[in-house]
Amino acid sequence: MEPKQCTKNQKSWLESESGDWVKQGIIRAEQQAQILNRYSTSHVDSFYSSWSSLLLISLGAILIGGGIILLVAHNWESFGKGTRTVLSILPLIVAQALAWYSVRYKPQLTGLREAAGTLLFFATAASIALISQTYHIYGDLERFLVTWLVLGIPILYLIGSAGVLILVCALILWLCGLEREPYWLYYLLLAPYLYGLYKQQRYVLFQWALWFVIIGSTFSIIYSVSWKSPIDDWMIYILLALSVLYYSLGKWLFGFKSHGFWGNPFSSAGALGIASISLMLTWEGFYRYSHLDSESKFVFNDYLILLVFAISVLATIGFIILKFKRLGINQWALITSMLLAILGVIGIPIKLPELVYITLTNLYVLIASVVIMSQGINQHRLMLLNAGLLWFSFLVLFRFFDSDIPFVLKGIVFIFIGSAFLGVNIWYNRKLKRDVSAQQEEAA
Amino acid sequence: MKPTLILLVVLFAIQLAVPGYMIFEQNQILTEGTAYKFKTRPIDPYDPFRGRYVTLSYAADQEVVPVMEGAEIESEDWVYALVGVDDEGYAVLEVLTDVKPEDDQDYLYLETFYRRYDGGYLVSLPFDRYFASEENAPKIESAVWRRQRDEVEDVYAKVRVYKGKGTIEELMINDMPIKEYIEIQQEQL
């Protein structure tokens, strides 16, 4: 069996504790050795021991690379075409030589590999930029960035540097924000690499990259169909479905244990998306206009986003089937929002009235937020409790200021829900007291 | 050799081939292309990677270009524009077509932009940047605009056109390369 990775602190804690157990006769010495063999710090050592120096090297390489770009951008027009052509190829050749030396002769030096990869990444850009400048080649920023990206992604696979991974992720993010094209598909090219990181348990880098992937993809998907597209009005439901997919994917990948907000990017982003979009849907207006615009032309992008929607729905169903037994009530509370997304899309054709849809969304947020609060209390997880509370408070705030509902109705509903809260609280306290006194009687 | 190393060599070759091809292509256009004068006005923006340049806004960009009979063209299509010369010797786009023209006819491969009521199109000429140093780019802009306010100006880009591609050879004011013109201006001040 492959040993599990842990940090040095965790390992030394385990060593001292298990040493105590041996002394106290709970386990034997060979059992202690067996247990300790199940945990290794090798990957983590190789990654973390040089973590700070790695960071410095990456930053250094990025600064040098940026410096080269700036020197190029200055435009040395007095040099003449020939000199400038030689100059534009030169940094590329130097960086390639360094990369070759690192991969061929010193593959064990992580720092050198980081520096070589990052420099090579910048050198490719610098050479293209300088040639473009010398010859006044038009070609917009978009084409330049795409060429850079396509030449840069192989560097990641062949040299494998953390700096290049982050730079590539950032470059794709930039493209996603620049143009209404489905540039987020480039993130798929990173999937094998990210999977490798996951397998090697290099989680810090993995999580960083995932945040980029999530932000870039989501932004790109919104941007690409937010205007002049036939599925423009479905965007909010597609995003809701995508959020549910993110949430499920996170639980699938990282397991059901809590990893904190930054530790599980998919679930955190998904939960955030579900909470905010469901709150938006509690308002009037979104649903009313949520039909397809049959006059606009469907292009590749629109089909792609519809495919994303279909995959989100199917993958969530798959997740529910596979993990049915492990799903807790708070997970159900979030995943059921997928029904709101589906209803939003099919609601108009099946003639579901707006009032019904809005009532359903309001009820959903009310119930789901209360469920999450109660789970936070039961499991003693403060973050869960606060999240539920925040979600609930926003719903209350929105409805209090909602001018479309008559004051009297609002008043009655508020008083009713408030009394329900107080009632449940009093009942719960009494139950607690009864349980305590019952326990005391038993003890006596 | 390990496969990684072989792939690395392939990657290096591609990384060198891309700028190499760009140089080859530009030189081919510059040596074999026909020279045209495109009347223009420069303005001065900024590119974070490639530095300062002036955007050239061409007179030919402002004109509606008619569509050749029988050609099916829509907005944002890539089409062929036949290049000709007007009475004053400046380049004009004569007509748009979706069929690749014969080699003896000069043409540019470009994107249509906006359809006009008469069926013609506005297009944008792709060679719209002239890179200059940080120092010179703003000067180019101000020199040209100042000239245009007082006297007769003759600002044009000397563009080489070859097999659908165009590249700027030089930016000219009154038949003088822009850098020389700016130097003379500096001396007069």
In which band, very low, low, confident or very high, does the pLDDT at A82 lie, cut at 50, 70 and 90? confident
Task: Quote the CA–CA distance of A440 and B23 in Å, as a whole number.
Answer: 89
Q: Are B161 and A166 a contacting pair, CB within 8 Å?
A: no
Q: Are A127 and A95 a contacting pair, CB within 8 Å?
A: no
Q: For A271-300, what is each residue's pLDDT tens digit?
A: 999 999 999 999 887 887 777 777 777 888
In which band, very low, low, confident or very high, does the pLDDT at B10 lie, cut at 50, 70 and 90? very high
Residue A95: closest CA among chain B residues belongs to which residue? B12
Is there a domain that residue A97 lies in? Answer: no
Distance from CA of B13 to the nearest CA of A (A): 10
Task: Quote the CA–CA distance of A242 and A207 in Å, as a whole number.
Answer: 19
B contact test, residue of A84, A138, A149, A180 with most B CBs within 10 A = A138
Q: Do residue A74 and residue B47 have CB atoms under 8 angstroms apart? A: no
Q: Which of A73, A136, A158 sits opposite B130 (nearest CB)?
A: A136
> How many CB atoms neighbour CB A155 within 10 A?
25
Nearest to A222 by CA among A255, A183, A260: A183
Task: Quote the CA–CA distance of A20 and A25 in Å, as a whole number.
Answer: 9
Q: Of A256-270, A353-367, B51-65, B69-83, where does the model show the most confidence?
A: A353-367
Give, in degrees to the nearest 5, the angle at Cα A282 between A276 and A287.
105
Q: Are A144 and B49 a contacting pair, CB within 8 Å?
A: yes
Q: Do residue A89 and residue B129 have CB atoms under 8 angstroms apart? A: no
Give the pLDDT confidence score for residue B46 in this predicted structure. Answer: 59
pLDDT, average across residues B1-19: 88
Instruction: End-to-end CA distance of chain B: give it in Å, rounded.
Output: 65
Is there a domain that residue A313 lies in? Answer: yes
In which domain, by residue range, is A382 found? Answer: 228-405
pLDDT, average across residues A142-169: 90
Q: For A181-208, what is each residue's pLDDT tens digit?
A: 889 999 999 999 999 888 887 778 888 8
Can you read off the two tokens belonging to residue A277?
């979009």
In which band, very low, low, confident or very high, does the pLDDT at B112 lie, cut at 50, 70 and 90? confident
With 0-12 / 13-18 / 19 or more C-beta atoms within 10 angstroms meaning exposed / middle / buried, residue A130 is buried
Is there a domain that residue A111 lies in? Answer: no
Asked if A96 has any chain B CB less than 8 Å from its own CB, the reply is yes
CB < 8 Å to B129, chain A: 136, 138
- Run of H or E residues at A396: helix A382-400
CB < 8 Å to A73, chain B: 47-52
| Residue B70 in this model has a pLDDT that exceeds 90 | no
CA distances from B129 to A135, A139, B90, B139, B170 (A): 10, 9, 19, 15, 11
Q: Are B28 and B59 a contacting pair, CB within 8 Å?
A: no
With 0-12 / 13-18 / 19 or more C-beta atoms within 10 angstroms meaning exposed / middle / buried, residue A314 is exposed
Asked if A217 has any chain B CB less than 8 Å from its own CB, the reply is no
CB < 8 Å to A85, chain B: 23
Task: Quote the CA–CA distance of A372 and A331 in Å, as a whole number.
Answer: 9
Q: Where are the domains of chain B?
A: 1-32, 34-188
- Run of H or E residues at A356: helix A354-378
Q: Do residue B11 and residue A125 have CB atoms under 8 angstroms apart? A: no
**R_g of chain B computed on alpha carbons:** 20
Can you read off the two tokens belonging to residue B40?
């223009």
Backbone angle region of A328, left / alpha / beta, with phi > 0 → left and psi within -120 to 50 → alpha: beta
- More confident: A254 or A428: A254
Share of chain A above pLDDT 70, in %: 95
Task: Quote the CA–CA distance of A114 and A163 in Å, as a whole number.
Answer: 6
Q: Are A92 and A123 a contacting pair, CB within 8 Å?
A: yes
pLDDT, average across residues B159-173: 87
Buried b / exposed e over A252-288, threshold 16 CB at 10 Å, is: bebeeeebeeeebbbbbbbbebbbebbbebbeeebbe
With 0-12 / 13-18 / 19 or more C-beta atoms within 10 angstroms meaning exposed / middle / buried, residue B74 is exposed
Q: For A375-385, what is each residue's pLDDT tens digit?
A: 888 887 778 88
Instruction: Give me the interface pTM, i.e. the ipTM.
Output: 0.73
Mean per-residue pLDDT over chain B, rounded = 81
Give the pLDDT confidence score for residue B13 in this predicted structure. Answer: 92
Give the pLDDT confidence score for residue A97 in this predicted structure. Answer: 93
- More confident: A3 or A158: A158
Q: Do residue A136 and residue B179 have CB atoms under 8 angstroms apart? A: no
Give the pLDDT confidence score for residue B152 in this predicted structure. Answer: 45
Q: Which of A104, A127, A138 sits opposite B19 (nearest CB)?
A: A127
A contact test, residue of B5, B15, B76, B128 with most A CBs within 10 A = B15
Nearest to A358 by CA among A316, A402, A391, A394: A402
CA torsion through residues A223, A226, A227, A232, sign: positive
CB < 8 Å to B53, chain A: 133, 136
Q: Are B26 and B82 a contacting pair, CB within 8 Å?
A: no
Residue with tokens 């099946």: A350
Count up the domains in chain A and report the number: 2
Q: Are B39 and B156 a contacting pair, CB within 8 Å?
A: yes
Give the pLDDT confidence score for residue A108 in this predicted structure. Answer: 78
Distance from CA of A291 to the nearest CA of B (A): 27
> Which amino acid, residue B104?
D
CB < 8 Å to B128, chain A: 138
| Bridge partners, residue B65, by sequence | B121
In which band, very low, low, confident or very high, does the pLDDT at A96 lie, cut at 50, 70 and 90? very high
What is the interface size between A and B, counted as CB pairs within 8 Å?
A: 106
Residue with tokens 């899309």: A345
| Bridge partners, residue A50, by sequence | none
Task: Quote the CA–CA distance of A128 and B26 in Å, as a whole number.
Answer: 13
Q: Do residue A104 and residue B23 have CB atoms under 8 angstroms apart? A: no
- More confident: A145 or A134: A145
Give the pLDDT confidence score for residue A243 in this predicted structure. Answer: 95
Give the pLDDT confidence score for residue A355 in this predicted structure. Answer: 87
Mean per-residue pLDDT over chain A, rounded = 85
CB < 8 Å to B133, chain A: 74-77
pLDDT, average across residues A228-233: 80
CB < 8 Å to A154, chain B: 7, 11, 14
> A197: helix, coil or strand?
helix
pLDDT, average across residues A340-350: 88
Can you read off the two tokens belonging to residue A109?
């030096």
> Which amino acid, residue B16?
L
**Which residues have C-beta within 8 Å of that of residue A374, sequence separation ≥ 6?**
A388
In which band, very low, low, confident or very high, does the pLDDT at A131 lie, cut at 50, 70 and 90? confident
Nearest to A143 by CA among B126, B77, B38, B23: B126
Q: Are B181 and B171 a contacting pair, CB within 8 Å?
A: no
CB < 8 Å to A159, chain B: 8
Give chain B's contact residues with A (Cβ, < 8 Å). 4-5, 7-8, 11-12, 14-16, 18-20, 22-23, 26, 30, 47-53, 126-134, 136, 167-168, 179
Q: Do residue B167 and residue A137 have CB atoms under 8 angstroms apart? A: yes
Q: Are B79 and B127 a contacting pair, CB within 8 Å?
A: no
E strand spans, B13-90: 34-43, 46-47, 51-58, 78-85
CB < 8 Å to B126, chain A: 138
| Bridge partners, residue B130, by sequence | B54
| Residue A411 in this model has a pLDDT that exceeds 80 | yes
pLDDT, average across residues A102-117: 84
Residue with tokens 């009979």: B69
| Residue A133 in this model has a pLDDT that exceeds 70 | yes
| Count, residues in chain A | 444
pLDDT, average across residues A213-234: 84
pLDDT, average across residues A49-78: 72
Q: Do residue B8 and residue A125 have CB atoms under 8 angstroms apart? A: no
Can you read off the two tokens belonging to residue A165?
């991974």
Residue B94 backbone dihedrals phi, psi, to 5 degrees: -85, -50
> B145: helix, coil or strand?
helix
E strand spans, A69-124: none
| Residue A331 in this model has a pLDDT that exceeds 60 | yes
